[in-house]
Structure 1
């Protein structure tokens, strides 16, 4: 929600007044609260002091009465005790007065109260006085005889430096308890008595009498009460879910403490009521000041309303920049009106200049749009041509790469051919050596076969001799057989031998015939082998010449292939260089195309911006037209 200046000034003023009023109320409340508590503490301590002093004096009077009886006995140990004890009870306001001696005798103000077998020496009051050797006051207890809460005031009787007995009196505490409970404590509070052992002597709750003060609150101790009394201070505790302020005062001539319990909330209710009244008064003052401030601010800011209307007329009306405000005062509002007139005058001059500049911008925007359109068309044509160049360069790069690849493969194949040719030449040299060795071995074989033929001839000669011998042997055997036949019976054994010899000669002749036949076959084969060897030797010689010639041809081919390999390598290197150049050209062409694309995009954006500028100029002319200049 939008706030007017009047509202803001009024709200700021009211907030400042409210903060001031609240601060004053808070300061007043704190001051009043501190002063009230100071008065409460002062009143409480005065009350405690007065009552504790009264109780102390009351106890002191009772103690003086007992001391008087003590001195009477010390002055005259044989005095008649009963009248004096009766006088002590009456004058001291005691419920019982009595005397016990070291012999165990017990004397009372009323002899009828004496009990047979009653030994005072075993009683607490007697033993306490004997132990302390000075006047003492026992803890409160309920007297069986008096049927009331009492304390015993006792004092040892000394004669010639020796304690001969103890005089004592029972002091009823009912009247003292009534007086304590009737104390007017601020804030609907109450008072109670407690002794140094922390036992309650008097309390508005009878069930707590003779109970430890911890039954009132677990954290309440005699030390806290004593510290509060010694330092004249207070402390807080929670009782029955309410904050309580505790103050205490020691009672002279006793070991008792008078304690006051004040309800904090009750004590602060008047202070809170005062705070509420102050807040209501502050609210009333704030309302009155708000009305006065609203009237004053409205009157002071009346001139601003005229300025607001004039600005609204300029902003929402016809935009008349010729109107001026009438300056009626010399304050801030009048100064604002004067500055408004100066602002409108300056704005009038600016709008006139803006109108003239707008006309010029409009004309330039039309020219820029036409120029941008022309540049865009030219850039588009240039982009198409660059695309064609890039495509051609890409194709040339691919062809160059293929040429380089083929040239490289050719160089590799040529190198492999050179290697294979060299290997063939080396193998051919080995073949020549093998053929020469074969020719040499053929010559050796021819010689061996020739020698074999000679040996065969010699064997034939030997066989002829053997055959001749066999024929002669056969003739001899035949002759021997004839002679044996002639000899008859005596030549039979010789005939058998002759017959065997003839058979052997026949077999030898037959074998020689067979050997001759074999030798003749061998001679024939040997002759053929010699002829074949001779022919082979001739062929080997021819082969050596042919292989040598072929080796020369292979050597020439290897040299030619080496030249081809070198040329293919040079072609591959040139093709690779051309490929690199083509790749660089392609990269440059791509860069040019990207630049061309960017230029085309810039040209298109320039054309769009020119149209946009022209549209803005038209809108600006419309806006300027709203003003009357």
Structure 2
């Protein structure tokens, strides 16, 4: 146990130490970053202020010189101007040389005009800004001079009444603008060409900063300081700033003090944490060994109790929380002894009650068997009664269906008979109309016979006329030959007409004979239709009587079917209730059987519990 507590304590100490170191690290990183930013800001502000001051001083001095020469400048000879240039060059050691640039682009130095060069045509910066934009008192962009170094120009306008006569350009070394401050900085053009540097990086002048330090390409304006370590191991913070003229100001601030101070504090926190953890572990180990010196005796007593030995054993006092545990163990021994004695008495009473329950359960099982047998007999009788009632109801229902079918057939037959009567009446009417039509046909046939007789008489007369015409034609000789031919044709036509008349007369006679027969047949059919109507009336009365009888039988069948269905429903309800009772009896029988089984299980558990209680060994009181 002591080992586990020590391990736990050491683990917790490690976690706390790691947490303290992590918090210290993050705090120191924040402090270091803030101090880096502050140092960079102070250095940058100081350098930029000095640069602005130096440039303003230089431009102010140039403007004073230009202002002094403004009066009468146009009347000065070239020799006078060259003399003044030499005076300007000697006036300040930082001035490399000076010259005048005129509006026409000519450039005058101390040794004369520069031949083959025109500032206007070359569009030099000082010319464009001075004459084109009318600026004065400004510093030009740095450029490489003839010796390979870097120079800048201080430009001031020589003007009077807003008329620029010339530009005074003083060439200086950019490094001369900045006094010695001990700070490290770099000024470069946007492409990285360095034209001004001081401190440890003065050797970078004339080189490209991105070639010297490629990692500076990832620095942007406004970024937090970029930490950079020099080859000799010193730490610098680097920031990128854009000047008003578009060039880049690189501020390199020495952060060696902040880095070393942060590391020293972090190492101190680590050493203090290790010392505290070690001391805490040692003190805890000694304290635990002293406080838990009687723990083995307590463990021994509890082990004996686990083996069933509850004999009282004295444990020395530890003067700490272990005494509470020892008192609890002693109380536990006494309480368990009481519980075991009471449990043994309860077990004896429980065993006797179990035997009584077993006898009662056996009697209940016998009664359940008898009840189940009686219920099954009643259920069988109720089922048979229900089946008989259902058969009666079914037969009555079938009889009702048959009666309804017969009633439907009789109704349909009555309707069919009625339709037959209607059709017979229509046939009788039609036959009467046909009889009239046949009579009219016979009358018209007789009229046709009279017309035929007239036609026949006309044919005979025509034949006689044709014969007379033929005789007259024969008398006429050759002159009547054509007329004879016509007479022959007329006679032949009259013969055919007479023959057709005879044929029509024969047909008319046959038609009249058939008309008389049809009239007689119609008269007979009319009599038969009268008899059929009488028979139909008798059948209709018979069907009406049958329908009334069948309706009476249907009502009786309906009453029988309804009563049988009610009896069957009641019988089924009785059968259902009996089945429910039978089911309940079955459940009671099963529950009683289960109760008996559970009682047996309880008896076994009681015996098992008695065996388990025998495990406890106690002093007999």
Structure-1-length-normalised TM-score: 0.59
Change in 2 beyond 3 A, CA 1:68/1:620: same
Deviation at residue 129 of structure 1 after TM alignment: 3.1
Q: Distance in 2 between matches of 1:298 and 1:163?
A: 100
Q: Distance in 2 between matches of 1:120 and 1:565?
A: 139
Residue equivalent to 2:251: 260
Residues 397 and 561 in structure 2, CA contact (< 8 A), matched pair in contact too: yes
Q: Distance in 2 between matches of 1:573 and 1:255?
A: 116
Residue equivalent to 1:139: 141
Match of 1:620 among 589, 609, 616: 609
Residue equivalent to 1:342: 331
User: In the TM superposition, what whole-angstrom CA distance separates every residue of 1:82-117 from its partner, at most 9, and x where no partner exists?
Assistant: 344234334333332112445766432234xx3335
Q: Distance in 2 between matches of 1:263 and 1:159?
A: 49
Q: Distance in 2 between matches of 1:569 and 1:29?
A: 106
Residue equivalent to 1:548: none
Q: Does the alignment pair 1:385 with 2:374?
A: yes
Residue equivalent to 1:299: 290
Residue equivalent to 1:166: 167
Q: Does the alignment pair 1:80 with 2:76?
A: no
Deviation at residue 589 of structure 1 after TM alignment: 1.8
Match of 2:596 among 574, 591, 607: 607
- Secondary structure of 2:69's aligned partner: helix
* 102-111 vs 372-381, greater mean Cα deviation: 102-111
Change in 2 beyond 3 A, CA 1:365/1:195: same
Residue equivalent to 1:98: 99
Q: Distance in 1 between matches of 2:558 and 2:210?
A: 130
Q: Distance in 2 between matches of 1:202 and 1:628?
A: 101
Residue equivalent to 2:35: 39
Could you say which structure has the larger radius of gyration?
1
Match of 1:311 among 298, 302, 309: 302
Residues 126 and 154 in structure 1, CA contact (< 8 A), matched pair in contact too: no
Residues 236 and 252 in structure 2, CA contact (< 8 A), matched pair in contact too: yes
Deviation at residue 415 of structure 1 after TM alignment: 11
Deviation at residue 251 of structure 1 after TM alignment: 8.4
Q: Distance in 1 between matches of 2:361 and 2:586?
A: 15
Residue equivalent to 1:115: 114
Structure-2-length-normalised TM-score: 0.60
Residues 45 and 247 in structure 1, CA contact (< 8 A), matched pair in contact too: no
Residues 389 and 589 in structure 1, CA contact (< 8 A), matched pair in contact too: yes
Task: List alignment gaps of at least 5 residues for structure 2.
Answer: 198-203, 229-234, 410-544
* 70-79 vs 34-43, greater mean Cα deviation: 70-79
Q: Distance in 2 between matches of 1:68 and 1:394?
A: 140
1:166-185 equivalences under 5 Å are 166-173=167-174
Q: Distance in 2 between matches of 1:620 and 1:106?
A: 126
User: In the TM superposition, what whole-angstrom CA distance separates every residue of 1:407-450 from its partner, at most 9, and x where no partner exists?
Assistant: 77789999999999xxxxxxxxxxxxxxxxxxxxxxxxxxxxxx
Deviation at residue 164 of structure 1 after TM alignment: 2.8
Residues 39 and 253 in structure 2, CA contact (< 8 A), matched pair in contact too: no
1:319-358 equivalences under 5 Å are 319-326=308-315, 328-358=317-347
Change in 2 beyond 3 A, CA 1:568/1:336: same
User: In the TM superposition, what whole-angstrom CA distance separates every residue of 1:174-232 from its partner, at most 9, and x where no partner exists?
Assistant: 7779x99x9765xxxxx321579999644749564899xx99658845xx5xxxxxxxx
Residues 95 and 169 in structure 1, CA contact (< 8 A), matched pair in contact too: yes
The Cα RMSD (Å) is: 5.1
Residue equivalent to 2:155: 154
Q: Distance in 1 between matches of 2:38 and 2:225?
A: 17
Q: Distance in 1 between matches of 2:281 and 2:297?
A: 24
- Secondary structure of 1:323's aligned partner: coil
Deviation at residue 155 of structure 1 after TM alignment: 1.2
Deviation at residue 592 of structure 1 after TM alignment: 1.5
Q: Distance in 2 between matches of 1:158 and 1:419?
A: 139
- Secondary structure of 2:151's aligned partner: strand
Change in 2 beyond 3 A, CA 1:609/1:84: same
Change in 2 beyond 3 A, CA 1:324/1:371: farther
Residues 108 and 114 in structure 2, CA contact (< 8 A), matched pair in contact too: no
Change in 2 beyond 3 A, CA 1:612/1:276: farther
- Secondary structure of 1:164's aligned partner: strand
User: In the TM superposition, what whole-angstrom CA distance separates every residue of 1:489-547 from its partner, at most 9, and x where no partner exists?
Assistant: xxxxxxxxxxxxxxxxxxxxxxxxxxxxxxxxxxxxxxxxxxxxxxxxxxxxxxxxxxx
Change in 2 beyond 3 A, CA 1:262/1:62: closer
Residues 246 and 262 in structure 1, CA contact (< 8 A), matched pair in contact too: yes
Residues 94 and 171 in structure 1, CA contact (< 8 A), matched pair in contact too: yes
Match of 2:356 among 336, 344, 367: 367
User: In the TM superposition, what whole-angstrom CA distance separates every residue of 1:439-464 from its partner, at most 9, and x where no partner exists?
Assistant: xxxxxxxxxxxxxxxxxxxxxxxxxx
